[in-house]
Amino acid sequence: MQMELKSVAVYCGSSFGTSEVYREAAVRLGQELAERGLTLIYGGASVGLMGAVADAVLEAGGSVTGVIPTLLEAREISHRNLTELIVVDSMHERKRTMIERADGFIALPGGPGTMEELFEVMTWSQIGLHQKPFGLLNINGYYDQLIQFFDHMNKEGFYKDEYRENVLVSSDPASLLNTFATYHAPGVKTY
Ligand code: AMP
pLDDT digits (tens, 9 = 90+) for 40-70: 999 999 999 999 999 999 999 999 999 999 9
17 Cα: distance to centroid of ligand 1 (angstroms): 15
Q: Is the CB of 77 under 6 A from ligand 1?
A: no
When pLDDT is averaged across residues 168-180 and rounded to a whole number, the result is: 97
Supply the residue whose CA is at minimum distance from atom 11 of ligand 1: 113
For residue 183, the model assigns a pLDDT of 93
Distance (Å, whole) CA 149 – CA 154: 8
For residue 2, the model assigns a pLDDT of 58
If one residue of 14, 46, 71 were mutated to test the ligand 1 pocket, choosing by the most ligand atoms within 8 A of its CB, it would be 14
- Closest-lying ligand 1 atom to the alpha carbon of residue 95: 21
Q: Is the CB of 113 under 6 A from ligand 1?
A: yes
Q: Is the CB of 109 under 6 A from ligand 1?
A: no
For residue 167, the model assigns a pLDDT of 97
- Closest-lying ligand 1 atom to the alpha carbon of residue 68: 10
Q: Say if residue 100's pLDDT is above 70.
A: yes
82: Cα separation from own chain's centroid: 18
122: Cα separation from own chain's centroid: 11
For residue 6, the model assigns a pLDDT of 97
When pLDDT is averaged across residues 109-121 and rounded to a whole number, the result is: 98
For residue 170, the model assigns a pLDDT of 98
Q: Say if residue 1's pLDDT is above 60.
A: no
- Closest-lying ligand 1 atom to the alpha carbon of residue 43: 10
Distance (Å, whole) CA 119 – CA 124: 8
Q: Report whether 11 contacts 117 (CB < 8 A).
A: yes
- Mean pLDDT computed over every residue of the chain: 96
Supply the residue whose CA is at minimum distance from atom 7 of ligand 1: 113
When pLDDT is averaged across residues 12-29 and rounded to a whole number, the result is: 98
Q: Is the CB of 114 under 6 A from ligand 1?
A: yes
Least Cα distance to 88 among 68, 65, 106 occurs for 68
For residue 73, the model assigns a pLDDT of 85
What are the C-alpha distances in Å from 27 to residues 56, 57, 186, 191?
5, 8, 31, 42
Is 3.40.50.300 the CATH classification of the domain at 7-176? no
